[in-house]
Amino acid sequence: MRLALGVRYNGRAYDGWQSQPSGKTVQDKLEAALAAFAVQPISTLCAGRTDSGVHGLMQVVHFDTEVERTPFSWVRGTNRFLPEDIAVQWAHPVPKAFHCRASALTRRYLYVLSQSPVRPSLEAGRVGWTMYPLDGDAMRAAAQILLGQHDFSSFRASACQALSPVKDMRRIEIERDGQGERCRWYFEFEADAFLHHMIRNIMGCLVRVGQGQAKPEWMREVLQARSRIAAAPTFSPAGLYFLGPQYGPEWGLPPEVTLGGAAAAYHGPP
């Protein structure tokens, strides 16, 4: 039997998603909890790897098992063995043809950025931070340049293992909550797939434009350079959330991960 799980986690305490010898990753914790519940080893695959400090609002994984339990039992049983900052949200049987990564039609990320003269305290690790005011119109103009299918090599980490730097950026939305020198910004990105550090590198460029250190047209120069040295430094992982993949309705998955359904949304910590 193949099962798909929806998983939510706070990534601050972990060395990213992917399993490492240290055992201090979200995948390591999830697989240990699944093994404890199923009383046998279980290996998982995920829809999108996240870096150290990056959070997952709706990560999707799949695995194969001979253990027969109800979907509700997989949720409650696995959560019993997970740390408090990781929780399975749902479990759903899927056909063998389903692959959480290859079957995904699109992926969504959110970056939550605090604009304040003082660094975050209660929100530390859950929001990014800038002490300088940002120009929303300038950032939106720069973001429009990135829409469509492009070679995103300028926003690609040197350790990226993707076979191609060409991705289709389908949507970037930038919203502001609050007025004055203290407010919060929300940057939502949707593409067919993303490169390693791609969002954080784009965020570094958008913030540079928003602070008036570069014109919106500079984003086109960065994109066309196809060189990482042309872009701004990689931005903090603290405010980055994987909102999750989206699949076709034929898989019968919950609406928050199905195209046309009630997609997962998040507007940051209170």
Give the active site residues.
51
Angle at CA of residue 239, ends 233 and 240, nearest 5°:
80
User: Burial level of 158, CB count in 10 A (0-12/13-18/19+)?
Assistant: exposed
User: How far is 50 from 46, CA to CA, in rounded Å?
Assistant: 10
Backbone dihedral angles phi then psi of residue 108, each to the nearest 5 degrees: -130, 140
User: How far is 114 from 51, CA to CA, in rounded Å?
Assistant: 20
User: How far is 154 from 147, CA to CA, in rounded Å?
Assistant: 15
Q: Sort strands 128-130 and 106-115 into parallel, antiparallel or unpaired.
A: parallel
Give the ranges where the chain is alpha helix by DSSP (H). Answer: 26-38, 71-80, 136-144, 198-210, 218-225
Yes or no: say if 190 and 259 are a contact pair by the CB < 8 Å rule.
no
